Copies of this chain bind each other. A is one copy, B any other.
């Protein structure tokens, strides 16, 4: 086992040397930890990577990737040639781990997210699965300062998530210098113990101690375990051991270091196999068994209510569905799911990074998770959302209380930048239904969307205008009142669709024909429909949205038209001021995104020059 650890060091150094980059010293500190883990404790079957009874390894200190790749070589998951492709274009052995690589199930590298993901998996196992798997999260000591770690520490301890083991590689050196607590393991112990974790302190280079600790962790019930491993960064090589200033740098003389470590070895080990039961069968019966709720045209319903009711309706026919809440489920309406199956409703309290990290963990365990909060508070998890996309993990967020229309609670509660942030996420679906019937179809659609989706819903009621049988889908849009003689088009989404339709009525009273395009799919935008509408009115377009002027629907329309070369003269109504407290209608009037402002903007366009 000692030899295996040295081999991992050597191979991590070789990989980094070949790449001319990487973090070998961060790998060297954790060599015994990972060697013992893969050889003795991590129950995985390389031939059946999705076996539900498998254990999980999350390399939360993702920059130690060369160590992981060295371990993959040792267990025969990759060959030597591949090891030396580390960080090369096209190699799956990236600078920081990404799924597609053996054992890697979550993208890491943004520090602090691994434990939240692991906590999500452990929550799923604890309540919904016959427990046999364990989750091993290898953390750096530096990242313990991250709030995302601390949120997970609090949750895992309080929820007694005993499937979870955190292994902390306490090498005392961060990137710029010593970590806050250095080798003061007592300080770290006190913290974890306060959060009700079992704490094991060990010398992280003593393979027996490591082995014993991992066995103890496996046997611990009713508490998560943290193994605080005192280690030496750059361990094994005199010139790198415990030296500052070497973070993220390949070794100056790799050959000398490899010689000092005893040279290249070719030890191969086989991890223990998964054992035990499989999770309950939760295959979805598909869309046959289900019926979506629907609302008659003309009724006033909040889209948040529609989403809540639809999840309730889907809950029975989709046993794979779970819902996560951050103590606002009464507002987002996701709490209604509790009545379907309290076991599949998870309260993570006011901790949005944990909310999203846990949702990723549920996804990895094969659950279809929907997580929700106020849209603006989900910004707290922006970095983890981004990392979900890096990993290609499905992630479904519902953000309520969109825009200034929430009313007198004021700007702290308003989602005004949420579309801008989330639209930039790779592969995202950004959806904003304008009525209940759209909301019902769209929340069902995101359940099968393969990447990140963000469903933005409203606090207040809007008028149901979409007939029940009208198909609403990701990438679609809905045209309202189009005629060949239209002089102006109003493109809106969510709450502003009602305003746009009212504005079109006002325009009609002026003798002006206007069409409304309900762009409920902000991304992918229905470019064809937008371009057709823009061309039909010779470029005279009002875009009206309850969002900041940057990065939202107006941007999406402008980008698409610029790229298509479709002439447009856009009046862009968006929230350009800092709102205060006021009623919803007053908010929209103050921001200039109500029917009156839309009407006025359209008039100016019709009376002004045309770009075409």
Binding site for B on A (CB under 8 A): 19, 21, 62, 86-91, 93-96, 98, 107-112, 142-143, 145-151, 154-155, 158, 174-177, 179-181, 190-191, 193-195, 325, 327-331, 335, 347-354, 376-377, 379-380, 382-383, 386-387, 389-390, 392, 407-413, 416-417, 420-421, 423-427, 523, 539, 541, 547-552, 554-559, 561-563, 565-572, 578, 580-583, 586, 590, 609, 611
Give CA–CA (A602, B427) in the complex, Å: 27
Partner of A349, one of B21, B91, B93, B180: B180
Known contacts A95-B409, A350-B112; A578 and B330 CB within 8 A of each other: no
The answer on a CB contact under 8 Å between B572 and A563 is yes
Given contacts A147-B149, A392-B578, A550-B555, 11 further A-B contacts (CB under 8 A): A94-B408, A94-B580, A147-B353, A190-B194, A379-B421, A380-B383, A416-B424, A423-B551, A523-B550, A563-B572, A565-B568
The answer on a CB contact under 8 Å between B413 and A109 is yes
Give CA–CA (A362, B600) in the complex, Å: 44
Nearest residue (CB) in B for A612 is: B567
- Give min CB distance, A456 to chain B, whole Å: 14
Give CA–CA (A174, B351) in the complex, Å: 13
| Inter-chain contacts of A94 with B (CB < 8 A) | 408, 410, 580-581
Known contacts A147-B146, A327-B176, A412-B96; A550 and B423 CB within 8 A of each other: yes
- Give min CB distance, A286 to chain B, whole Å: 30
The answer on a CB contact under 8 Å between B570 and A567 is no
Nearest residue (CB) in B for A175 is: B327
- Give min CB distance, A149 to chain B, whole Å: 8
- Give min CB distance, A279 to chain B, whole Å: 27
Give CA–CA (A175, B194) in the complex, Å: 25
Sampled A-B contacts (9; CB under 8 Å): A90-B580, A112-B350, A146-B351, A148-B380, A174-B350, A175-B330, A179-B349, A523-B550, A563-B569
The answer on a CB contact under 8 Å between B421 and A417 is yes
Nearest residue (CB) in B for A543 is: B562
| Inter-chain contacts of A551 with B (CB < 8 A) | 420-421, 423-424, 550-551, 555
- Give min CB distance, A538 to chain B, whole Å: 11
- Give min CB distance, A561 to chain B, whole Å: 6
Known contacts A382-B421, A582-B89; A412 and B107 CB within 8 A of each other: yes
The answer on a CB contact under 8 Å between B146 and A151 is yes
| Inter-chain contacts of A328 with B (CB < 8 A) | 175-176
- Give min CB distance, A233 to chain B, whole Å: 14
Known contacts A88-B581, A145-B349, A180-B154; A420 and B424 CB within 8 A of each other: yes
- Give min CB distance, A449 to chain B, whole Å: 16
The answer on a CB contact under 8 Å between A331 and B567 is no
Known contacts A145-B349, A349-B179; A563 and B559 CB within 8 A of each other: no
The answer on a CB contact under 8 Å between A581 and B91 is yes
| Inter-chain contacts of A177 with B (CB < 8 A) | 327, 347
The answer on a CB contact under 8 Å between B21 and A407 is yes
| Inter-chain contacts of A416 with B (CB < 8 A) | 386, 424, 426
| Inter-chain contacts of A569 with B (CB < 8 A) | 562-563, 565
- Give min CB distance, A452 to chain B, whole Å: 11
Partner of A559, one of B148, B194, B410, B572: B572
Give CA–CA (A90, B579) in the complex, Å: 10
Give CA–CA (A148, B150) in the complex, Å: 9
- Give min CB distance, A540 to chain B, whole Å: 9
Give CA–CA (A582, B523) in the complex, Å: 29
Give CA–CA (A328, B63) in the complex, Å: 14
Nearest residue (CB) in B for A552 is: B424
The answer on a CB contact under 8 Å between B412 and A390 is yes
Partner of A147, one of B21, B90, B150, B413: B150
Scoring A349, A570, A581 by chain B CB atoms within 10 A of each residue's CB, the highest score goes to: A581
- Give min CB distance, A114 to chain B, whole Å: 12
Give CA–CA (A578, B96) in the complex, Å: 13
Give CA–CA (A184, B345) in the complex, Å: 24
The answer on a CB contact under 8 Å between B424 and A143 is no
Nearest residue (CB) in B for A328 is: B175
Give CA–CA (A578, B150) in the complex, Å: 29
The answer on a CB contact under 8 Å between B349 and A142 is yes
Partner of A96, one of B62, B180, B193, B413: B413
The answer on a CB contact under 8 Å between A351 and B147 is yes
Give CA–CA (A327, B583) in the complex, Å: 44
The answer on a CB contact under 8 Å between B142 and A150 is no
